[in-house]
A and B are shown apart, each in its own frame.
Chain A
Amino acid sequence: MSIRVIQPGVLTTVQDLGRFGFQQYGVPVSGAMDPRSLKLANLLLGNDPGEAALEITVTGPQLIFGEANYAVLTGGDLGAELDGKPMPRYQAVKIEAGQTLRFLGLRNGCRAYLAFAGGLDVPLVMGSRSTCMKAKIGGIKGRKLEAGDELRFRAPQPDLPFPERRRIGTDFVPQKQYELHAVLGPQDDHFTEAGLRTFFSEVYTVSADFDRMGCRLDGPPIEHKGGADIISDGIAFGAVQIPSSGKPIIMTADRQTTGGYTKIATVCSADFRFLGQLKGGDKVNFIPISVEQAQNVLLLERQYFRMIRDFLR
């Protein structure tokens, strides 16, 4: 036993970057809601950036470790304490057998990622370790962590080289209002000029109804030209659906693969770092971005990841 779950927290699941290649069969992609935080945690440990880790939501679990290893905690600040002392985020921390990790409460963001050197020993299902609760696959028996669960490290490295270099500044910084850059389409032609203006100028509030499938927003309704229904087509991570109520729903990791509502725009990949940290009450606004610019930003982010990896070689 490497990790024993004493308290599971409200929603703690095993996630990697998702299950690709099975959307054609209706299998949701799943994976980390905030993929940047997952990748940073792994990179600091020398793991593959897509190694599976724990995604911890709002109220964290209480875990006891049965084996020494290095860990990195990233993402939102959930008040982590290791044996009663604050556990620093965004840096490699040595965990000793017998230590207890608990979370005092949410300070900012919504989700923290806890990665371990060498990853977690969880079976691959359709090429991924991500938990999809809807399909009941991945992680621990396709469900969230429960009290009494035990997890094993796959290839722990209690003697990880140069741990002092494995740190970066706090990457996730909470904002008063989150700016989400979005690429128009695929159904932007189903909205009036006024509707498009509303979408890009008004401020929206994340409703209490947010989960791994989608994030519902409250705010001024967005006007359609005709109806809100289309013949079902594919749904990308970050797609902003506008059903007949006119209130946006941003589709996230556990979204269904296809759907029949108009999608006005898609949040750019580089902004999933904010999208994955939204919780009820947070404010967002949308800013148009061209696909070229969105890809430039995404490639810059990849360059940053490569720099971290190369620095730690």
Chain B
Amino acid sequence: MNNVRILLTGDCSLSVEFGNEISEAVNRRVRSFRAALENAAIPGITETVPTYRSLMVHYDPAVIRYDPLRDELEKLLGDSGDAPVPPGLVLEIPVLYGGEAGPDLPFVAEHAGINEDQVVRIHSSAEYLIYMLGFTPGFTYLGGMSERIAAPRLAQPRLRIPSGSVGIAGTQTGIYPVDSPGGWQLIGRTPVKMYDPEREKPILPEAGQYIQFIPVAQKEYDAILREVEAGTYAVRTHVRKED
């Protein structure tokens, strides 16, 4: 219960805040509480939204008013301690690095004082925690990128970045789920659609999962793209080894 605060976000939602830092430990508590809340199945809760360090809980005050809901949540926070979070699922996201797909790879390499292959090796060797999704549909806020390949944003943002582009901004890395303007350094592109409103599961990644980028060559990229377009591609996954 220590450091946990229940904050008012109007008359139909509240925010349970677990800390004031971006850390895997705090984020794990958000997910653990979300799992506990799902098990508790409190009537009136309509939707929950996990973020870096808090869980937003939407509810219908015609079913449960603020005070009784707060009591229920406090009770749950008291008992659950920390409900175990299952080991993370790692989504293996194929990426064609460099060239037209990643026009800023040379800059990132030069900025880091290493060669392009080394940037790719560092970028694709980590499993990045999806802290949360937000900003646009399917955009993942990832943690854990090596500072060795950190790079500043473009001074002049691009007007249109194609969906699937993989970029770096500061110590953050991420994938553009939809075509949009943006200032990230683009190092590659994935043929996998993070967001596809036509798909049965429109958004592929979920908060609490991990992403690992897998370097692929042009031929493999093209083959995967054909499967994605035919709707037959399934992203490979593995269960993360707990450290």
Contacts and interface: CB of A to CB of B under 8 A. Distances in A.
13 contacts: A24-B207, A26-B133, A27-B137, A135-B136, A135-B195, A186-B17, A187-B7, A231-B51, A232-B52, A236-B56, A257-B133, A291-B8, A295-B11
Interface of B: 7-13, 15, 17, 20-22, 46-54, 56, 58, 61-62, 65-67, 132-139, 141, 177-178, 195, 197, 202-203, 206-207
Contact of A268 (B10, B15, B197): B10
B49 A24 contact: yes
A125 B197 contact: yes
A269 interface: yes
B32 to A, nearest CB: 16
A258 interface: yes
Given A232-B134, A234-B49, A298-B61, A183 B10 contact: yes
B9 A185 contact: yes
Contacts, number: 140
A29 B145 CA distance: 31
A116 B41 CA distance: 37
A interface secondary structure, majority:
mixed
A16 to B, nearest CB: 16
Interface footprint category on A: 35 or more
Contacts of B50: 24
Interface string A17-28: 000111111111
A307 to B, nearest CB: 15
Contacts of B15: 186, 233-234
A232 B8 contact: no
B12 A236 contact: yes
Nearest to A237: B10
A50 to B, nearest CB: 13
Nearest to A234: B56
Contact of B9 (A20, A126, A186): A186
A294 B49 contact: no
A267 interface: yes
Given A21-B47, A23-B49, A295-B66, A232 B10 contact: no
A137 interface: yes
Interface string A181-207: 001111100000000000000000000
Contacts of B8: 183-186, 266, 291
